[in-house]
């Protein structure tokens, strides 16, 4: 589950040990959160004692930040990659939603570090996750802005809605033990998102369009 089988008590090369420690830390932080996780726990999980941890990382905070940055980056790349890979907007939506589902289903519940980080004290960490979210939103908003007749702010708001839908949907799907199969869940969310942005000026090119009512109304 942790990748390497933690051969308890073995002497590892510096690089291998570091990689193993990162995996152990990821698991413990993901399970318990930043505050509840003790450095002893991480060391023990890695089958090693605490000072070894401090030979590889200057402190608990830095260790956490390293992991946070890694996985935040992974999310951004998955999402922006999904959007850049094609020009067809429907495929983009489908791929972006799928990216969230795959990220969340990724190894070691690492998504928890990004989506449920319990470290609000450190501004460094906060900025890492916020910036990652922003770049995801930007990727989506970029596609929305160029194609739809919306200004920056409104396009971003729309993009945030889509991101929120994907993120929360993916998290819930995972927590519900995937009672709905992945592909169908992705299809459901995609359908929700795709129909949602349908009706804004030029976003839809393959499906039906409804020229009437492209500004929101109500009240």
**Binding-site ranges for a second copy (CB under 8 A):** 32-33, 35-36, 90, 94, 116-121, 137, 153-154, 156-158, 160-169, 172-173, 176, 179-180, 183-185, 187-193, 195-199, 207-208, 210, 213, 216-219
The DSSP bridge partners found for residue 200 are: 198
Applying CB under 7 A, among 19, 32, 33, 54 the residue interacting with DNA is 54
Q: Cβ 115 to a second copy, closest distance in Å?
A: 11
In three-state secondary structure terms, 85 is coil
Residue 9 or 211 having the CB closest to DNA:
9
If one asks whether residue 61 binds DNA (CB under 7 A), the answer comes out as yes
Structure tokens at 14: 């510096």
Q: Cβ 170 to a second copy, closest distance in Å?
A: 9
Residue 66 or 188 having the CB closest to a second copy:
188
Contacts 24+ apart (CB under 8 A), 195-198: 196/161, 196/162, 196/165, 197/93, 197/144, 197/148, 197/158, 197/162
Closest CA to 108 of 75, 71, 82: 71
d(CA 209, CA 91): 17
Applying CB under 7 A, among 52, 126, 174, 188 the residue interacting with DNA is 52
- Cβ neighbours for 67, distance < 8 A, ≥ 6 positions apart: 22, 25, 26, 29, 110, 113
Structure tokens at 121: 């004290």
* Contact partner at residue 114 from a second copy, DNA, none, CB < 5 to 8 Å by partner kind: none
If one asks whether residue 19 binds DNA (CB under 7 A), the answer comes out as no
Q: Which residues bind DNA (CB under 7 A)?
A: 9-14, 17, 37-40, 47-52, 54-55, 59-61
């Amino acid at each position: 589950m942790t990748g390497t089988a933690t051969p308890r008590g073995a002497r590892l090369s510096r690089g291998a040990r570091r990689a193993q420690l990162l995996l152990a830390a990821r698991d413990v932080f993901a399970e318990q959160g930043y505050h509840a996780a003790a450095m002893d726990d991480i060391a023990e999980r890695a089958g090693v004692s605490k000072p070894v941890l401090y030979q590889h990382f200057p402190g608990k905070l830095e260790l956490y930040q390293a992991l946070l940055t890694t996985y935040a980056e992974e999310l951004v790349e998955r999402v922006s990659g999904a959007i850049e890979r094609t020009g067809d907007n429907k495929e983009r939506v489908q791929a972006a939603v799928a990216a969230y589902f795959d990220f969340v289903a990724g190894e070691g519940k690492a998504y928890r570090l990004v989506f449920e980080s319990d470290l609000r004290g450190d501004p460094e960490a906060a900025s890492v996750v916020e910036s990652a979210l922003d770049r995801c939103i930007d990727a989506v908003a970029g596609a929305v802005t160029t194609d739809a007749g919306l200004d920056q702010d409104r396009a971003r708001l729309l993009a945030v809605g889509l991101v929120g839908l994907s993120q929360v949907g993916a998290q819930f799907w995972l927590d519900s033990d995937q009672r709905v199969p992945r592909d169908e869940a992705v299809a459901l969310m995609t359908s929700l998102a795709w129909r949602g942005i349908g009706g804004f000026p030029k976003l839809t090119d393959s499906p039906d369009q409804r020229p009437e009512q492209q500004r929101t109304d109500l009240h």
